[in-house]
Amino acid sequence: MLKKTAKLLVTSSLILGIAATASSAADRVYKWKLATTWGPTLSPFIDAPQNMSKMVEEMSDGRLQIRVDASNKHKSALGIFDMVKGGQYDMGHSASYYWKGKDINTLPFTTMPFGMTTNEQYAWFYYGGGMELMQKAYKKHKVLSFPGGNTGNQMGGWFRKEINSVADLEGLKMRIPGFAGEVMAKLGLTVTNIASGELYTALERGTIDALEWVGPGMDINMGFHKIAPFYYTGWHEPATELQFLVNERKFNKLPKDLQQILVTAMRVSAYDMYIQNYHMSANAWDKMGAEYPNIKVKTFPKEVMDAMKKANDELLVEMKAKNPLLKEVLDSQAEYQRKARKWTEMSDYLFLKDNL
Ligand code: CA
């Protein structure tokens, strides 16, 4: 009898022990921090991480909480990659092409000049091998990267004077990141990247002569048109995808259900940012002619576009020859674009051509 009671006690305590462990895992609250490149009111960029954080907290019933720090808090707008890699922040929200000076293989995951449109690029990311290549590029930094919201096709930028020839571009100081910056440098411009909060002052003070930012939804609020009223159509960022970065070690410590909640919330908030920005640009463009009659919308002349394409093609050959992984990514993008563009032409392009 005594023996049986003892056995029962052992069994009960084992069951209780297991229950306690399960309950503590389910109850454990993970408090994370995310650093963004963006200022606290920079819609829709800042909305993507904020919406993601809200979704995560609600879907996890408070078990995963992510504090979003805007650039005014951490004071390092272009230091997101380092802070996530180093573990000071669990997550980041920024643009992959900002890290081209640290690791050239991270460059193509934002957008490429003359590259894929947003639909084509999302198809490449989620179904055409893009996600796998992005994780491969970030692997050695022990950072995971996920699509973080798209701007759609961007405008080519703001210039003080009309650009009639390649000679008009030579010697200009321009803020233009990514591969497009390399192209412009090859055409004789001095290129730089400046965080959004300092752009207007840089243009006003003449630190830069020209800049590109995003599109009408975001650009008009910045006031660039007051200084540089020539607004050029885009060639350089047809599908700018922002990125969520996650410290791999921190991600691996999350229970599987929280990992899934996080991945789902990132994907939903990314798509939401894309349509939010589309809405903002549609509204801004609709009113622009009436409200800002001094803005002169232009397209670069053929001579300039041809020179950009030539420089772009030459740079692609040079950079691919030096970087095997970059070559793998760029070849994958080019092949996907070749295939997808035929369908884009047959569907959206022919429809729009006949219905504008
Ligand atoms: Ca841009």
pTM of the model: 0.92
Which pLDDT score is estimated for 314? 98
Q: Most distant CA pair in the chain: distance in Å?
A: 100
The answer to whether the bond into 40 is cis (omega within 30° of 0) is: no
Tell me what pLDDT residue 254 has: 98
Q: How many CB atoms lie within 10 A of CB 20?
A: 10
Q: Hey, which residues does 36 pair with through a beta bridge?
A: 93
Going from the Cα of 52 to the center of ligand 1, the distance in angstroms, rounded, reads 23
Residue 305 is encoded by which pair of tokens? 């576009």
The pair of three-digit structure tokens given for residue 44, joined into one six-digit string: 């829709």
Instruction: Give the distance (Å) from ligand 1 centre to CA of residue 250.
Output: 30
Packing angle, helices 47-59 and 256-291, rounded to 10: 150
d(CA 294, CA 172): 22
- CA pair distance 266, 177, nearest whole angstrom: 24
- Walk me through the domains of the chain, giving residue ranges and CATH numbers: 29-150+239-279 (3.40.190.170), 157-237+293-347 (3.40.190.10)
Q: Are 42 and 196 in contact (CB under 8 A)?
A: yes
Q: How many whole angstroms from 213 Cα to the centroid of ligand 1?
A: 4
Separation of CA 95 and ligand 1 centre (Å) = 10
**123, 29, 33, 122: which is closest to 69 by C-alpha?**
33
Q: How far is the CA of 249 from the centre of ligand 1 (A)?
A: 31
Task: Tell me the CA–centroid distance for residue 8 and ligand 1, in Å.
Answer: 68
Three-state DSSP string of 20-44:
HHHHHHHHCCEEEEEEECCCCCCCC
Return residues with CB closer than 5 A to ligand 1 (ion).
154, 212, 237
Whether residue 163 contacts residue 169, with contact meaning beta carbons closer than 8 Å, is answered with yes
CA 281 to ligand 1 center in whole angstroms = 14
CA of 242 to the centre of ligand 1 (A): 11
CA distances to 157, 201, 202, 282, 316 from 218, rounded to whole Å, are 12, 16, 17, 11, 30
Per-residue model confidence (pLDDT) at position 1? 46
Task: State pLDDT tens for residues 106-126.
Answer: 999 999 999 999 999 999 999
* 175 Cα: distance to centroid of ligand 1 (angstroms): 9
pLDDT tens for the 356 residues of the chain, in order: 445 544 544 455 455 555 555 556 678 999 999 999 999 999 999 999 999 999 999 999 999 999 999 999 999 999 999 999 999 999 999 999 999 999 999 999 999 999 999 999 999 999 999 999 999 999 999 999 999 999 999 999 999 999 999 999 999 999 999 999 999 999 999 999 998 999 999 999 999 999 999 999 999 999 999 999 999 999 999 999 999 999 999 999 999 999 999 999 999 999 999 999 999 999 999 999 999 999 999 999 999 999 999 999 999 999 999 999 999 999 999 999 999 999 999 999 999 999 98
Residue carrying structure tokens 């990247």: 193
The whole-number pLDDT of residue 26 equals 74
d(CA 243, CA 96): 6
At residue 27, the pLDDT reads 84
**341: CA distance to ligand 1 center in Å?**
22
What is the rounded CA–CA span in Å between residue 155 and residue 164? 17
- CB 284, CB 213: distance < 8 Å: no
Beta carbons of 239 and 178 less than 8 angstroms apart: no
Q: Note whether 112 and 336 are within 8 A (CB).
A: no
